[in-house]
Structure 1
Amino acid sequence: MELTYLTYEVRGDVAILGLNRPQKRNAISDAFVEELAMLVRRAESEAKAGVIHGHGPHFCAGLDLAEHVKKTPFEGVHGSRRWHEVFGWMQKGKLPWFAALHGAVVGGGLELASSVHVRVADSTAFFALPEGQRGIFVGGGASVRSARLMGLARMTDMMLTGRSVDVDTAERWNLVQYVVPEGEALEKAIALAAHAATNAEISNYAIINALPRIQDMSTDDGLFVESFIASFTATSPEAEERLNAFLTKKVGKVANPNA
C-alpha cells in the first residue's frame, strides 16, 4: 500500500511512524486514521518497539475540522469510536510506543500522544485542548487518557479557558516524561525505544497492558493481579536466562544517576 499521510521505516528493532501532512499541520482525517491503523499492525509484526513523530514544524494540530464539519452526528460518533480503537491498539497492543513531540501538540494531537507509553518533547512543543472554543468536545480519548495523565482539574482548565501550556509545564503535569533541546526529540525517542526493545517481550507486554488495568482496580484486586503477573513473568525461560546473567555478573547493575 502506498502511504499518503504517514511515513514508515524500521531501524533495527524500532518502527518509526511519521505523520506526514505538514501543509495541514498533520491534522488527523479518517483516511489518516486508517493508514495509522495499518502501520501500527505492520509495526507489531516487524519491530519490538515503536516511535511516532511529526514531519514539518508541528507534531499534530488535531482533528481535520474541514472534514469533521461535514459529518452527521452519527458519523461523528463512529469516527470518534474508530479513533478510540486505533489509538487503543497502540496503548494496549504488543509494542511499547514512544512519541517525539515538537511544535503544536493540540487537540487530537494530544490525544494521540496520550495513547503512547512514553513522551519526549523538545523545547518548541506546546499543548492545548481547544475543542471548547470550537463548540465541540474531545473525541479521541482525551477525557480518559489525557485526563489521567494530567488530572481532571488541569484538563478542565485547558478546555474551559483554551489555555496553551509550554513544555516545562507539560512535564510538571506529567504530559511528557522527557524534555530535550529543539530538534532532539526524535533521536531521543528512538534511543529510548531501542533500549526498551532489548527488554524481555513478556515483560514489555505486561508493563503496557497490566499497569493501566491495575490502576483501574481496587488496591486489593490490583495487588492480587500483580502477584500472578510477577510469578508468570519470573518463570519464563527468558527471565531465567536474564536473572542468571545478573547473578553471574555478566550484566551491569542499575546505574546511579547521581554518580
Structure 2
Amino acid sequence: MGPFPILVRSVVHHVGRKSNPFLSQLFGRGSYTRRVSPVSGSSYQWLNQSYRSLILQSASESVKMERLSGSDSGIIEVNLDRPEAKNAIGKDLLKGLQHTFESINRDSSINVVMICSSVPEVFCAGADLKERRTMNPSEVQFFVNSLRSTFSYLEALHVPTIAVIEGAALGGGLEMALSCDLRICGEDAVFGLPETGLAIIPGAGGTQRLPRLVGKSVAKELIFTSRKIGGKDAMLMGLVNYCVPAGEAHLKALEIARDINQKGPLAIRMAKRAIDRGIEIELPSGLELEEECYEQLLNTKDRLEGLAAFAEKRKPIYNGQ
C-alpha cells in the first residue's frame, strides 16, 4: 500500500522549515520531500514514502486497536481513549488514527472495522480547541488539512467501516463518523457541526459528506445554525443506519459486523469499490465499473466455495482467495 495521504499544498508550504515546531511534533525530526505521485480515480494525492515512515514512528496511546478472535476473527475494533479531553482530536490522537488506519489497510486478514469510544457518553468531541489556540494560522491550516486527508483515507479503506456512536459526536467527531460506511448510534447520541459558531466552517469533510448523506437543504440548515440533533432525528434524516436504546450501539454494530464478516471478503471489497466509485460517475460508466469488479471475482476460490456450499446446503468457508 502506498504512503499515507495528506494534502500536498499544506506540506509543500512547510517544506524545508525543519525548525517548525508543529512539524516536529506531528512528524518527528527529519527531512522532508516534495515528491508526490497522484492516485488514479482519487481526489487527493499521496506523499512520498519518507512521510509514511515518519508517521509510523509515533503511534498514540489515545487510539487502541483490538483484534477479535474465534468466530469473530476478521473484525477489528478501533477505540478512541482520551477521557481527559472527551476524545478531542489533537496532534497525538491524529497520529494514532493515521498509524491505525495504515495498519488496517496493509492487513489482508481484516474484514470489518468498528470505530468506537472507550470514554463513556462521548464518541468524539471534535477538535482539541485548547491545543488549537497554541497554533499560528499556518499550523492550523496544516493540521486541518492533515485531518481532512486522514478522514479521506478512512473513507477509502478497502474494508467496511462502522462508527459506533454513544453520546456526543461533534465537529471533527461527526466528520470522522461521516467518513465511515455505516453509522450506529444510541438514542442518547448528539450530533452537530458547531464550526460556524466559532466563525469557521467544517474543514475535515463536513461540508461535502453531510449533504451527500442527508441532502443539501438539511445539511445547510445544520451547518448554518450549528444545531445539534439527537439519535432519533439523525435516524429520520438518514444520518445513521440504526438508532438503538442507549448503551446498545456496540451490540448492534457487532451484530452487523459479524454478518459482514461471514460473507466473501473479496466480494465485500469489490462491492465497496463499485459503490463508492460508481456513485461519482454516470450510470453507463458505473455499470462498466460494476462489470470490472464482478470479473475480478470470477476466478476466485471463494466464488467456487460459495457455489459448492450452496449445493451441499452448508455454511461456506471463505479464505479471501
TM exceeds 0.5? yes
Q: RCO higher in 1 or 2 (8 Å CA, sep ≥ 6)?
A: 1
Task: Tell me how far apart the structure 1 counterparts of residues 311 and 294 of structure 2 sit (CA, whole Å).
Answer: 19
Whether the aligned pair in 2 keeps the contact of 1:91 and 1:208 (CA below 8 Å) is no
The CA deviation string for residues 115-158 of structure 1, in whole angstroms up to 9 with x for no partner, is: 11111101110111110001111111112222211122111101
Are 1:38 and 2:99 an aligned pair?
Answer: yes
Q: Partner of 2:182 in structure 1? A: 118
Cα offset for 1:251? 4.2
Task: Please give the alpha-carbon distance, in whole angstroms, between the structure 2 residues aligned to 1:212 and 1:178.
Answer: 21
Q: CA deviation at 1:195?
A: 2.4
Structure 1 segments, 4+ long, off by >3 Å, are none
* Residue correspondences, number: 252
In structure 2, give the amino acid aligned to 1:22. Answer: P
Aligned to 2:42: none
Amino acid at match of 1:14: I
Q: Which amino acid aligns with 1:151?
A: G
The TM-score, its normalising length taken from structure 1, stands at 0.90
Comparing 156-165 with 225-234, greater Cα deviation is found at 225-234
Query: Aligned residue for 2:115?
Result: 52
Other-structure match for 2:168:
104
After TM superposition, the score normalised by the length of structure 2 is 0.73
In the TM superposition, 1:79-98 aligns within 5 A as 79-98=143-162
User: Could you say which residue in structure 1 is the equivalent of 2:247?
Assistant: 183
Which amino acid counterpart does residue 4 of structure 1 have in structure 2?
E
Find the counterpart in structure 1 of residue 297 from structure 2. Answer: 233
C-alpha contact 2:60 2:95 (8 A) present in aligned 1: no
Corresponding letter in the other structure for 1:17:
V
- The match for 1:131 among 173, 190, 195 is 195
Percent identity for Structure 1 against Structure 2: 27
CA distance in structure 2 between the aligned counterparts of 1:237 and 1:144, rounded to whole angstroms: 39
| Per-residue deviation, residues 17-53 of structure 1 (Å, max 9, x unmatched) | 1111122121111221110111223334263211111
Does the aligned pair in 2 maintain the 1:120–1:176 contact within 8 Å? yes
Query: Alpha-carbon deviation of 1:2?
Result: 6.9
1:204 Cα offset (Å): 1.9
Residues 243, 172 of structure 1: alpha-carbon distance in 2 compared, 3 angstrom cutoff: farther
| CA positional deviation for 1:7 | 2.4
Matched, 1:11 2:68: yes
Q: 1:225-253, CA deviations, whole angstroms, 9 ceiling, x for partnerless residues? A: 1122123223322112112322443249x
Instruction: Please say if residues 191 and 230 of structure 2, whose CA atoms lie closer than 8 Å, have aligned partners that are also in contact.
Output: yes
The answer on whether the counterparts of 1:22 and 1:57 sit within 8 Å (CA) in structure 2 is: no
Q: For 2:248 and 2:205, how far apart are their aligned partners in 1? A: 27
* Displacement after TM superposition at 1:102 (Å): 1.0
Structure ID, larger Rg: 2
Q: Aligned to 2:251, what secondary structure does the other structure show?
A: helix
**SS at 2:131's partner residue?**
helix
Q: What is the one-letter code of the residue matched to 2:207?
A: S
CA distance in 1, matches of 2:76, 2:143: 26
Q: Map Cα deviations across residues 92-125 of structure 1 (whole Å, 9 max, x no partner).
A: 1232111110111111111000111111101110
- Equivalent of residue 25 in structure 1, options 66, 86, 91: 86
Aligned partner of residue 163 in structure 2, secondary structure: strand
Secondary structure at 1:199's aligned position in 2? Answer: coil
